Amino acid sequence: MPDLLERLARGPALLLDGATGTELERRRAAAALPLWSAQALIDDPDLVGRIHAEYVAAGADLLTANTFRTQQRTLSRADPRLRAADLTAQAVALARRAAEAAGHRVWVLGSAPPLEDCFRPDRVPGDADLAREHAEHAQHLMAAGVDAILLETMNTIREAVAAARAARAAGAAVLASFVCWDGATLLSGEALGDAVSAVREERVAAVLANCLPPSNVAACAPVLRASGLPWGIYPNLGAPLDGGAGRRSEECTPEAFAAHAAEWLDDGARIVGGCCGTDPAQILAVAQRTRS
């Protein structure tokens, strides 16, 4: 059975799961800040496991563990008694259980987001905090048994490099994903091409763009493709925080989403999936269209 890096290099392309946080919200689970999706690990871990299982049943090859907000920085704001290592391990175990019940090979990715607000590059902490806290999170993810670490929704080059360096030091294969709302530009105003070059120096295994509207993929895909690395796309369909600071939302049926994904795969993408607002129906539609 090929490992993840071999599959990325040789294909066929991998289907990533869809959203967890907005899917929890859609099912009326408590998901208030600061914990957001991590709240369900405390209140209803079985629901998190069911969502993972539904993505597997839809055809996902990659499951993203619900570790988007299990860093100690975030947990301490909600309840100082919460321990990052414990909640991270629980999140990975839920994804692993769903992966092992699949009828096909499914890899588990550990989510490593920005330490602060994904959509506020001005809040990125100082370099020392980035190095220390991303190292801690990466170590927790590796101890929990992830197959790779997915740096997602990175909004500055500085934090992406720090997170990639920490994950590589922990022994992880690293996939680095950036958020670009308008053109091939990070929310920090930095060029996506510069960001891709910077993380390539840290020997990441793939580069991606996520949480962007489908209409902006055309601006980002050529930059990702030009990196020479395996690349991927997992856009959002809006929510949460729609209507806030420049956040955009686009209506997209599962069939339309699958048509977009087929175009990205034809363009050479090795990974396609969904971010905020997507659900198992979108992932199933992609699987049915691209594997028929």
DSSP 166-183: HHHHTT--EEEEE--SSS
For residue 11, pLDDT over 50 is answered with yes
Confidence at residue 244, expressed as pLDDT on a 0 to 100 scale: 42
Mean pLDDT of 100-127: 96
Confidence at residue 30, expressed as pLDDT on a 0 to 100 scale: 87
Structure confidence by residue, pLDDT tens digits, 51-84: 999 999 999 999 999 999 999 999 999 999 999 9
Which residue ranges form the domains of the chain, and what is each CATH number? 4-290 (3.20.20.330)
Confidence at residue 240, expressed as pLDDT on a 0 to 100 scale: 45
Cα gap 22→29, rounded to integer Å: 10
Cα gap 236→54, rounded to integer Å: 19
Mean pLDDT of 228-240: 88
Mean pLDDT of 231-240: 85
For residue 242, pLDDT over 50 is answered with no
Confidence at residue 239, expressed as pLDDT on a 0 to 100 scale: 59
Burial 220-239 (b: 16+ CB within 10 A, else e): bbebbeebebbbbbbbbbbb
Residue 244 vs residues 101, 119, 188, 194, 257: alpha-carbon distances, Å: 39, 10, 17, 27, 24
For residue 246, pLDDT over 50 is answered with no
